[in-house]
Amino acid sequence: MNISALLPKNFLQDSYGIWRALAETQVSFPADGHARNAEVEDRSFWFNCRNKVITSMIQKVMGRPRSFVDVGGGTGTVANAIAKMGVPVALIEPIQSGCFHAASKGTLTVVNSTLSECAFPAEAFEAAGLFDVLEHLEQESTVLAEVKRVIAHNGYLVITVPAYQSLWSSADVAARHYRRYSLTQATGLLRANGFEPIYATYFFMPLVLPIVLFRSLKTRFGLGSKAEHSQELVASPFMSFVMRLFTEVELFCMKMKFPIPFGSSVLVVARSRHQ
């Protein structure tokens, strides 16, 4: 699938292979956020385990989609994992620094734009992903409406979002989040915007207690430090091994479609509803 052929004629490809709109869009995301993520993502248990959860659920529910659009895909860590499944992936990212890191992976069609500015034809993609994106949007319904327009009739949407407003901390402020979500809130949001959830669960169950102790409580007592949050995503080899073991248990539950009762993140797989 030639994804770049779907873009408007005013999009130009630069020397890095990135397709660009005329102007960069302002979004609620730290200016150095993508650089910090790119620095740790290869050795981060959080990024690696999240990738495995997302790609496993895509394979379980969809097999191998004919095309996929990763909206707000950042440095391309998830999109690259999906592309390695043999899926043509378009990564849409409004921040230039994220696009540079994504383009360096060499497996993606990278577009420096918002999804609406891309003006893709209706039903251009079989599936879409919003991976830890919705919490950065003041109004989620605008992007969800555009996602619904560009994916196929009964097409798939996969989202991940941070869980529980009670886990709010200075890390959320530093990341410029607007909110965190319960499972009910995440599925309700999708239903209200024309999607029908077919599987929803929490994941990263082992991280809830550490977040409470080392983020949420520290924030409430004014002890949080913005500088330390990106490094929290990198653990010792032993802790990374433990997290991988827990991830395998959670993946078994997901593959059997058993919901995980709690966790620091939410995953929902939904299908678009068309009247």
Over the stretch 235-254, which tens digit does the pLDDT of each residue have?
678 878 888 999 999 999 99
d(CA 142, CA 4): 23
pLDDT tens sequence across 261-273:
999 999 999 999 8
Domain residue ranges of the chain, discontinuous segments joined by +: 3-272
Question: What is the architecture, at CATH level 2, of domain 3-272?
Answer: 3-Layer(aba) Sandwich (3.40)
pLDDT tens column, 16-38: 999 997 666 667 787 777 888 87
Q: Residue 193 in contact with residue 130, Cβ under 8 Å? A: no
CA-CA distances (angstroms) from residue 216 to 134, 211, 219, 228, 231? Answer: 21, 6, 5, 14, 17
pLDDT tens figures, 116-160: 999 999 999 999 999 999 999 999 999 999 999 999 999 999 999
Residue 153: C-alpha distances to residues 66, 73, 147, 177, 273 (Å): 14, 23, 12, 31, 7
pLDDT beyond 70 at 103: yes
pLDDT at 34: 84
Place of tokens 């995980």: 260
